[in-house]
């Protein structure tokens, strides 16, 4: 077989005829982007043009034979040929491969045949088959490559401080003041100190925060606070840029212990305890988890039995495995605890309730009947004194029941406005929902710290490069851009999603059960903590050995945040909760159909959107489409809906076949997790797109919309196996998306410094003092 | 549209006609496995049967309409109908969906039409479209589900100790003795101690190992050793089950420092230093990396200039950034170092050579001209005293040049048998190749530790379960099986691959450059260290809070192994080296074609294998095919070959367009990394399949072949986006592979305990003492 292109134009009439197709043929091979089947399909389409002479066909065929791809030098001869023609204005000629083909034909004097609209439309259809972005491929054919030119670097239209102001619109002063504290003693806790010292320093730090009033920000003014729950959240989020033991001990004291008394208790509890909690005069615990029941809190076994004779509640741990476990502040400092226990009144078990139980006297000695064991050294967070607590018939006054939602009246009768122990328990878990949102927020902050360190380092550190030229910054290595930039985009998405959820939750987390907020909090906690753990690892590795130095914080950040994936509900358990929530929400929308009655509804909805798929869209890979926010959100929505339908169908089938719901769910666990992740990713993208819409200047919205596009395409790329299986994408489009992710990462790299600087983390916080260093 | 199946059999003749298709229709919907397009295709094929009456078509059409999927109860009515017939022996009737269809037809008295071979073949072709494994789907239709039945649990045909003997055929006694030491003082180093104490304990441990003779195992007998390099590797691998600071300090002293003198030096160096190195009387360093050049060692800038006047070499650090960095043993204990420096003789730079340079006197005081700085606290490995070293015109005798491959003769003339400074340097890097294999081996050991802890814990710990039944072991949760079992399989694969490489390397690592071994060592180091980091994280999370306790080792394991991805060459750099090696190996095979001359060759090869794809194979999803080792290996080979071709094409295109090689490689970095990973995965699978072939009993080969299948299918599943894009898989097959991965994970779960116990890590090693715990 011979393929020849005579480098002298116009000498072979057939070649002139083929000029319009030359850019398409070249692009088909040059990046190896077409599969053999697609090359054949392209050939079929070209031959279908119906205007080709047998000579033309014979000339073209060898160029589109997958069994014998052209050699690089043969391809180069195509480019050489093309470059001999004067196509006029390059920016016009290279709008697409078809345009370039027409321009070549025109330059060769063969334009009439190819400039008629019908032929043009057919060429456009062929171009759509290619996974290339036409302009890029056309420019490269003419030798106008897209190698990054530092002189033409994209200048972002916004600056770090205006972006920062947009990101942190609420409580900027509180955040700023606290950030300054974080860089100085006593909040700048050294790394590598023994556990006992670490705990002492952490306690000092939390006392300092209380002294500065940071513990009371969220509490009512009547009890010495500022009555600003959102401010409390801002404090927590900002603290998460610093030492995470301090953050967690702060969260235990003010968020969990203080929060449970504020939200589950009533006025007399507030008056009695909140001021001392806010000032750290009364350090306390939040005792929910038991050794035998971690994430499965509904089955807790500690009991609180009402003794009508003495008007007391008797707290008791039935056996070793029912001991309260992992309780922060318990091993050393806690003097009191909010204990979650089954409330038994007159022999009847009313489910889990919260009771305030003293643990230690003012000198720190354990009270009678209370046994506590130190959980000892952990992977991280060693400034927090976690412990296990067992109660041996410990008596507290009836008054210690936190009785906002359920009471034992003076006659010893149990009453609650909320019917059903499940619903009541769920309401009381509101504090847990707040905890989950807080962990999501803290995960985002810790991720921001890691990305800031990594971007600053990789922008400075140079390794390898072209012969005879200065070495290249690590951040200009494509693999580093690919690793860091999509994660930067996801972190922006999570920022908006978590802030949005905080706004929607408002101050009082334990309102009448709001399953949507609960689902969202669980999903964002799981997703943000996973993102944090993975991103910190990527950042550490991008920084190489320097990232391994304790002073650069990755060691502690990784060790401390690792448990974010586990506490406040293990991620896999939370994601299943999300999936179940999505399934039952549909049931809700459908009214009171029975458990799986929503199936038909879901199937119908999915049927509709699926029938909307069409072969043009599944192949469309032009820039306008790939960067279209509606395409992005539509893709993530499609995935969520189709997974929802498929999970419902799988569960239904198994339950119909007589399987109990635990087994059925267990067999479909992967699908439930996939559905939950798909849901959260859609929520994150929506929040990021909403951020674009709200951006106050075009410069801000431009940079944010690039982030949104990168996040969306990165997610589609990651799940492309699923999309291809579903027929939502075809191979050429999937490949075009991968290429586009790389290009966007390179584009955003130019704004990377600005994007991390906008978070405003001071230098003094980005590094940590390390003990034991000479 | 109405779909009705009368529950009374035989009342509607059309339905009887449709009975043979019923199992296919049911399976098409039940798990939501078919895309709309596939349902339509199935309908087309069914209608193509050519034997259908208009009535039959009308009855069938509504059952295969993607815009209106049957409701669950409609599907259930199909099952109800099927179950009314007596199909005889279930195990025969459910061999496939077609078989079941025939059995139903037979039971309804309509068999003659469907039992002829042609009709059967057409039905089989339809069945192949479904991503279901026929037997399972058929059994489920009849209500014979595949819910795990503990009573029928798979009993493995082998035991842990015979598997263990097969895995560790070489040096079982050395391994056993060392494992026992690891569980006791002084090798059982406590966690959570201050850095200074940690370093002291680590030094004690390495001295203890030397005293026991473990430092000399690999050294020649003439110098007090056992002349058994493979034994030295076995020691290193076994040590990696214990404290990793001890491992790394041991590796620095005996592997890097001792190894460099053994392999780069000659007899007089050996006689003078090896005995003291083996006994730890002379602690030393391996000083290669510089601050300015981490992974890019070819550009090191420390110089060693020969001074003919005094017959000395003058070691000099030109500036701060050329200081030797991260050098183990340098901060405190090292008295001497093998320093890699540019050798300059008579004004000529001969490239990087190794020179022995004293650092401290016998009292530990730094020698003149040597400046050392402690690198201080790190994320992990804090028992190792890493430091930075600068030389200010430090003089050493000419004799200190390690001169196996290059000499300065008595006349002060430089000589080397190896022409070309690049090739010479590469030969001298042999010690680095050994180091990389060692890190790969250590990564495998640390992964085994993590998996052993996780499997033992998740097998014991129970959470959640069916109402009224005991809670279920975590390892019986599908998501946990999915997370742990494929990683267990990969760890087995890496075990065989690393052992195989060790065998092939033999004793002398610095033979005449063997690029294949270098490529393999680099690839396995990168892959195994990545696998280790990811698997430890998965294991920690599977263990929940318990995994966060320091005593359960995950904290230290994760922090210590994290840097395995960076030292001895950053993973991304090594993977690019692998990819470049693969590209140039093809060049090699092709003789002396110019740099990109192999392109055509690669393209041709790929063309061949691609044309072998056929639509039956790309859709085939029956059990026999999916479990076929040839399909597994073929898939991984196809990926490697096609990526090789595509990378070559991309690079070639860019370089033809005038881009320099650094820029071209940078633009294709993702593809290079993908190619390198594909290569390593093929190597790992080959090694695992080879292990199956060598297994001495059917029981062993059975369990190993399940692991090989799981590893292969897990990899194909992970890369299914790529395979789908390439047209190598179609959607139904991709989904069948996902289902099969889950089923294999469940199957292997039954042998999980045996598979981890075979590694023989004693209890005393699986937990660690933690300091500071009351």
Q: Which of A77, A66, A3 is nearest to A33 (CA)?
A: A66
Q: Which of A72, A296, A382 sits opposite B653 (nearest CB)?
A: A72
Which residues from chain A sit within 8 angstroms of residue B580, using beta carbons? none
pLDDT band at B155 (very low <50, low <70, confident <90, very high): low
Which positions 122-151 of B are in contact with A (Cβ < 8 Å)?
140, 143, 145, 147
Nearest-CA distance A75 → chain B (Å): 9
Across the range A22-40, mean pLDDT stands at 65
Q: Are B402 and B356 in contact (CB under 8 A)?
A: yes
What is the spatial distance between Cα A370 and Cα A531, in angstroms, rounded to a whole number?
Answer: 39
Which positions 526-555 of B are in contact with A (Cβ < 8 Å)?
533, 537, 540-541, 544-545, 547-551, 554-555
Across the range A570-589, mean pLDDT stands at 84
Q: Would you state the pLDDT for residue B14?
A: 58
Looking from the CA of A323 toward its CB, the CA atoms found within 13 Å total: 19
Which positions 266-295 of A are in contact with B (Cβ < 8 Å)?
289, 293-295
Q: Would you state the pLDDT for residue A109?
A: 73
The DSSP 8-state label assigned to residue B21 in this structure reads G
What is the spatial distance between Cα A458 and Cα A468, in angstroms, rounded to a whole number?
Answer: 21
Q: Would you state the pLDDT for residue A773?
A: 56
Tens of pLDDT, residue by residue over A716-747, are: 999 999 999 988 999 989 999 999 999 999 99
Which positions 46-75 of B are in contact with A (Cβ < 8 Å)?
66-69, 71-72, 75
Question: B213 exposed, middle or buried (CB, 10 Å; 0-12, 13-18, 19+)?
Answer: middle
Give how far the C-alpha of residue B713 lies from the chain's centroid of Cα atoms, to the nearest Å: 14
Stretch among A243-252, A666-675, B45-54 having the lowest mean pLDDT: B45-54
Q: Across the interface, do A545 and B567 touch by the CB < 8 Å criterion? A: yes
Q: Are A566 and A616 in contact (CB under 8 A)?
A: no
* A656 Cβ under 8 Å from any chain B Cβ: yes
SS (H, E, C) B372-412: EEECCCECCCCCCCCEEEEECCEEEEHHHECCCCEEECCCC
Which residues from chain B sit within 8 angstroms of residue A563, using beta carbons? 545, 548
Q: B26, B32, B555: best mutation site toward chain A, by most A Cβ within 10 Å?
A: B32
Q: Would you state the pLDDT for residue A71?
A: 64
Across the range B572-601, mean pLDDT stands at 68
Q: Would you state the pLDDT for residue A590?
A: 45
Nearest-CA distance B542 → chain A (Å): 9
Phi and psi angles of residue B212, each rounded to the nearest 5 degrees, phi first: -80, 0
Q: Would you state the pLDDT for residue A651?
A: 87
What is the spatial distance between Cα A374 and Cα B774, in angstroms, rounded to a whole number?
Answer: 7
Q: A69, A77, A245, A601: best mutation site toward chain B, by most B Cβ within 10 Å?
A: A69
Tens of pLDDT, residue by residue over B716-766, are: 999 999 999 988 999 989 999 999 999 999 999 999 999 999 999 999 999
Tens of pLDDT, residue by residue over B316-346, are: 999 999 999 999 999 999 999 999 999 999 9
* A361 Cβ under 8 Å from any chain B Cβ: no
Across the range A314-330, mean pLDDT stands at 97
Stretch among A645-649, A724-728, B104-108, B164-168 having the lowest mean pLDDT: B104-108
Q: Would you state the pLDDT for residue A288?
A: 94
Q: Which of B376, B565, B610 sits opposite A770 (nearest CB)?
A: B376
Across the range B645-666, mean pLDDT stands at 86
Q: Are B459 and B752 in contact (CB under 8 A)?
A: yes
What is the spatial distance between Cα B458 and Cα B454, in angstroms, rounded to a whole number?
Answer: 6
What is the spatial distance between Cα A770 and Cα B376, in angstroms, rounded to a whole number?
Answer: 8
Q: Would you state the pLDDT for residue B35?
A: 56
Structure tokens at B669: 């970095």
What is the spatial distance between Cα B400 and Cα B651, in angstroms, rounded to a whole number?
Answer: 43
Q: Which of B537, B558, B731 sits opposite A727 (nearest CB)?
A: B731
Q: Are A693 and B70 in contact (CB under 8 A)?
A: no
pLDDT band at B12 (very low <50, low <70, confident <90, very high): very low
Q: Are B324 and B288 in contact (CB under 8 A)?
A: yes
Q: Would you state the pLDDT for residue A163?
A: 96
Q: Would you state the pLDDT for residue B149?
A: 44
Across the range B603-608, mean pLDDT stands at 47
Give the residue with greater pLDDT, B611 vs A461.
A461
Which positions 576-595 of A are in contact with B (Cβ < 8 Å)?
none
Q: Are B323 and B290 in contact (CB under 8 A)?
A: yes
What is the spatial distance between Cα A218 and Cα A222, in angstroms, rounded to a whole number?
Answer: 12
Q: Are A250 and A233 in contact (CB under 8 A)?
A: no
Q: Are A649 and B32 in contact (CB under 8 A)?
A: yes
Q: Does pLDDT of B146 surpass 60? A: no
Give, for B346, the enclosing helix (H) or strand (E).
none
Tens of pLDDT, residue by residue over A502-527, are: 988 875 555 545 678 889 999 999 99
pLDDT band at B103 (very low <50, low <70, confident <90, very high): confident
Q: Which of A544, A558, A773 sits opposite B294 (nearest CB)?
A: A544
Q: Would you state the pLDDT for residue B751?
A: 96
Question: B156 exposed, middle or buried (CB, 10 Å; 0-12, 13-18, 19+)?
Answer: buried
**Radius of gyration of chain A, Cα coordinates, nearest whole angstrom:** 32
The DSSP 8-state label assigned to residue A568 in this structure reads T
Nearest-CA distance A685 → chain B (Å): 22
Nearest-CA distance A441 → chain B (Å): 20
Structure tokens at A161: 């401080």
pLDDT band at A47 (very low <50, low <70, confident <90, very high): low
Across the range B475-498, mean pLDDT stands at 97
Q: Does pLDDT of B214 surpass 50? A: yes
Q: What percent of chain B stands above pLDDT 70?
A: 81
3-state DSSP assignment of residue B348: strand
Residue written as token pair 């006659």: A411
Q: Which of A71, A73, A555 sits opposite B559 (nearest CB)?
A: A555
Give how far the C-alpha of residue B571 lies from the chain's centroid of Cα atoms, to the nearest Å: 13
Q: Would you state the pLDDT for residue B156?
A: 52
Which positions 673-712 of A are in contact with B (Cβ < 8 Å)?
673
Across the range B366-378, mean pLDDT stands at 97
* B177 Cβ under 8 Å from any chain A Cβ: no
Q: Across the interface, do A611 and B774 touch by the CB < 8 Å criterion? A: no
Q: Which of A370, A366, A365 is nearest to A394 (CA)?
A: A370
pLDDT band at A596 (very low <50, low <70, confident <90, very high): very low
Structure tokens at A734: 């999937």
Phi and psi angles of residue A49, each rounded to the nearest 5 degrees, phi first: -50, -25
Q: Does pLDDT of A94 surpass 80? A: no
Q: Across the interface, do B566 and A558 touch by the CB < 8 Å criterion? A: no
Which residues from chain A sit within 8 angstroms of residue B742, using beta carbons? 670
Q: Would you state the pLDDT for residue B295?
A: 64
* A195 Cβ under 8 Å from any chain B Cβ: yes
Torsion of the alpha carbons at A124, A130, A135 and A139, rounded to the nearest 10 = -120
Q: Across the interface, do B652 and A549 touch by the CB < 8 Å criterion? A: no
Across the range B259-277, mean pLDDT stands at 95
Q: Would you state the pLDDT for residue A672?
A: 96
Tally Cβ neighbours within 10 Å of residue A112: 9
Q: Which of B466, B566, B668 sits opposite A660 (nearest CB)?
A: B466
Question: A591 exposed, middle or buried (CB, 10 Å; 0-12, 13-18, 19+)?
Answer: exposed
- Helices A430-460 and A421-428: angle between axes, nearest 10 degrees: 40
Q: Would you state the pLDDT for residue B157?
A: 67
Which positions 85-104 of B are in contact with A (Cβ < 8 Å)?
none
Question: B220 exposed, middle or buried (CB, 10 Å; 0-12, 13-18, 19+)?
Answer: middle
Which positions 201-240 of B are in contact with A (Cβ < 8 Å)?
none
Q: Across the interface, do B195 and A720 touch by the CB < 8 Å criterion? A: no
3-state DSSP assignment of residue B186: coil
Give, for B279, the enclosing helix (H) or strand (E).
none
Which residues from chain A sit within 8 angstroms of residue B540, using beta carbons? 379, 562
Q: Across the interface, do B772 and A377 touch by the CB < 8 Å criterion? A: yes
Across the range B673-692, mean pLDDT stands at 98
What mean pLDDT value characterizes chain B? 85
Tally Cβ neighbours within 10 Å of residue A652: 24
Give how far the C-alpha of residue A3 lies from the chain's centroid of Cα atoms, to the nearest Å: 51
Q: Which of B598, B578, B583 is nearest to B517 (CA)?
A: B578
Which residues from chain B sit within 8 angstroms of residue A565, using beta carbons? 541
Stretch among A544-553, A560-569, B63-72, B245-254 having the lowest mean pLDDT: B63-72
Q: Does pLDDT of A194 surpass 50? A: yes
Q: Across the interface, do A36 and B613 touch by the CB < 8 Å criterion? A: yes
Q: Across the interface, do A376 and B544 touch by the CB < 8 Å criterion? A: no
What is the spatial distance between Cα B666 and Cα B382, in angstroms, rounded to a whole number?
Answer: 35
Q: Does pLDDT of A132 surpass 50? A: no
Give, for B285, the enclosing helix (H) or strand (E).
strand B284-287
Q: Across the interface, do A379 and B562 touch by the CB < 8 Å criterion? A: no
Q: Would you state the pLDDT for residue B8?
A: 40
Q: Would you state the pLDDT for residue A593?
A: 39
DSSP characters for B679-690? HHHHHHHHHHHH
Q: Would you state the pLDDT for residue B770?
A: 82
Nearest CA in chain A to B80: A657
Q: Across the interface, do A562 and B558 touch by the CB < 8 Å criterion? A: yes
Q: Across the interface, do B147 and A663 touch by the CB < 8 Å criterion? A: yes
Query: What are the angstrom distances between the C-alpha of B25 and each of A133, B10, B61, B722, B763?
Result: 41, 19, 11, 30, 53
Q: Does pLDDT of B594 surpass 50? A: no
Stretch among A332-341, B201-210, B218-227 having the lowest mean pLDDT: B218-227
Q: Would you state the pLDDT for residue B427?
A: 78
Q: What percent of chain A stands above pLDDT 70?
A: 81
Q: Does pLDDT of B551 surpass 60? A: yes
Cis-peptide, bond into residue B149, ω within 30° of zero? no
State the pairing for strand pair B370-374/B387-391: antiparallel
pLDDT band at A313 (very low <50, low <70, confident <90, very high): very high
Structure tokens at A154: 């994209």
Q: Would you state the pLDDT for residue B7?
A: 43
Across the range A150-175, mean pLDDT stands at 80
- ipTM over 0.85? The verdict is no
Q: Across the interface, do B295 and A667 touch by the CB < 8 Å criterion? A: no
Which positions 482-501 of B are in contact with A (Cβ < 8 Å)?
482
Tens of pLDDT, residue by residue over B243-258, are: 999 999 999 999 999 9
What is the spatial distance between Cα A325 and Cα A578, in angstroms, rounded to a whole number?
Answer: 25
Torsion of the alpha carbons at B53, B57, B59 and B63, rounded to the nearest 10 = 150
How big is the CA angle at B610 (ends B609 and B611), to the nearest 5 degrees? 95
Q: What pTM value is reported for the model?
A: 0.84
């Amino acid at each position: 077989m011979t393929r020849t292109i005579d480098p002298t134009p116009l000498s072979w009439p057939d070649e002139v005829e083929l000029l319009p197709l030359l850019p398409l043929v070249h692009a088909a091979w040059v990046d190896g982007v077409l599969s053999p089947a697609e090359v054949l399909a392209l050939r079929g389409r070209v031959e279908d043009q119906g205007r080709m002479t047998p000579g033309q066909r014979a000339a073209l065929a060898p160029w589109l034979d997958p069994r014998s791809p052209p050699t690089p030098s043969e391809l180069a001869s195509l480019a050489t040929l093309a470059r001999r023609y004067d196509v006029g204005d390059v920016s016009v000629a290279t709008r697409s491969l078809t345009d370039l083909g027409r321009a070549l034909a025109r330059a060769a004097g063969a334009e009439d045949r190819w400039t008629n609209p019908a032929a043009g439309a057919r060429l456009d259809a062929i171009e759509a088959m290619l996974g290339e972005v036409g302009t890029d491929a056309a420019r490269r054919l003419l030798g106008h490559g897209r190698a990054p030119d530092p002189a033409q670097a994209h200048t972002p239209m916004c600056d770090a401080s205006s972006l920062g102001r947009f990101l942190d619109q609420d409580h900027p002063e509180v955040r700023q003041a606290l950030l300054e504290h974080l860089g100085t003693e006593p909040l700048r806790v050294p790394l590598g100190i023994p556990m006992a010292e670490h705990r002492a320093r952490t306690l000092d730090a939390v006392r300092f925060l209380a002294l500065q009033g940071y513990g009371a920000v969220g509490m009512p003014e009547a009890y010495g606070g500022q009555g600003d729950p959102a401010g409390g959240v801002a404090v927590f989020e900002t603290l998460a840029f610093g030492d995470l033991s301090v953050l967690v001990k702060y969260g235990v004291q003010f968020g969990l212990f203080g929060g449970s008394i504020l939200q589950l208790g009533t006025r007399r509890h507030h008056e009695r305890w909140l001021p001392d909690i806010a000032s750290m005069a009364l350090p306390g615990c939040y005792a929910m988890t038991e050794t035998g029941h971690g994430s499965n809190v509904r089955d807790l076994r500690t009991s609180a039995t009402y003794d009508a004779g003495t008007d007391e509640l008797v707290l008791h741990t039935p056996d070793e495995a029912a001991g309260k476990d992992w309780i922060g502040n318990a091993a050393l400092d806690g003097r009191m605890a909010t204990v979650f226990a089954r409330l038994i009144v007159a022999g009847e078990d009313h489910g889990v309730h919260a009771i305030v139980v003293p643990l230690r006297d003012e000198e720190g000695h354990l009270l009678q009947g209370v046994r506590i064991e130190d959980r000892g050294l952990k992977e991280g967070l060693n400034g927090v004194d976690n412990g296990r607590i067992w109660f041996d018939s410990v008596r507290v006054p009836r008054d210690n029941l936190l009785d906002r939602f359920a009471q034992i009246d003076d006659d010893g009768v149990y009453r609650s406005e909320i019917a059903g122990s499940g619903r009541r328990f769920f309401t009381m878990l509101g504090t847990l929902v707040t905890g989950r949102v807080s962990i999501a927020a803290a995960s985002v902050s810790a991720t921001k710290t890691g990305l800031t360190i990594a971007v600053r380092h990789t922008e400075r550190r140079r390794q390898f490069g072209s012969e005879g030229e200065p070495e290249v910054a690590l951040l200009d290595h494509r693999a580093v851009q690919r690793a860091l930039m999509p994660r930067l985009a996801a972190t922006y998405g999570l920022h908006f999603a978590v802030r949005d959820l905080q706004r929607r939750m408002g101050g009082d987390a334990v309102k009448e059960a709001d399953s949507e907020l609960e689902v969202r909090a669980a999903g964002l906690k799981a997703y943000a903590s996973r993102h944090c753990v993975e991103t910190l690892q990527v950042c550490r590795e991008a920084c190489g050995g320097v990232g391994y130095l304790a002073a650069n914080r990755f060691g502690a950040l990784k060790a401390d945040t690792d448990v974010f994936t586990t506490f406040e509900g293990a991620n896999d358990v939370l994601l299943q909760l999300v999936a179940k929530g999505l399934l039952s929400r549909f049931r809700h929308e459908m009214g009171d159909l029975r458990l799986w009655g929503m199936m038909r509804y879901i199937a119908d909805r999915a049927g509709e959107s699926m029938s909307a798929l069409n072969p043009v869209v599944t192949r469309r890979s032009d820039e306008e489409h790939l960067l279209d926010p509606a395409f992005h959100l539509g893709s993530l929505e499609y995935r969520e809906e189709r997974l929802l339908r498929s999970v419902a169908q799988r569960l239904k089938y198994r339950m119909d076949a007589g399987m109990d719901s635990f087994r059925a769910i267990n067999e479909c666990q992967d699908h439930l997790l996939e559905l939950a992740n798909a849901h959260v990713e859609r929520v994150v993208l929506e929040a990021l797109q909403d951020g674009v819409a709200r951006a106050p200047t075009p410069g801000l919205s431009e940079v944010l919309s690039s982030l949104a596009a990168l996040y969306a395409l990165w997610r589609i790329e990651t799940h492309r196996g699923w999309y291809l299986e579903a027929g939502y994408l075809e191979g050429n489009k999937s490949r075009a998306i991968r290429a586009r992710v790389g290009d966007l990462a390179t584009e955003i790299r130019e704004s990377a410094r600005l994007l991390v600087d906008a978070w405003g983390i001071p230098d003094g916080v980005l590094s940590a003092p390390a003990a034991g260093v000479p």
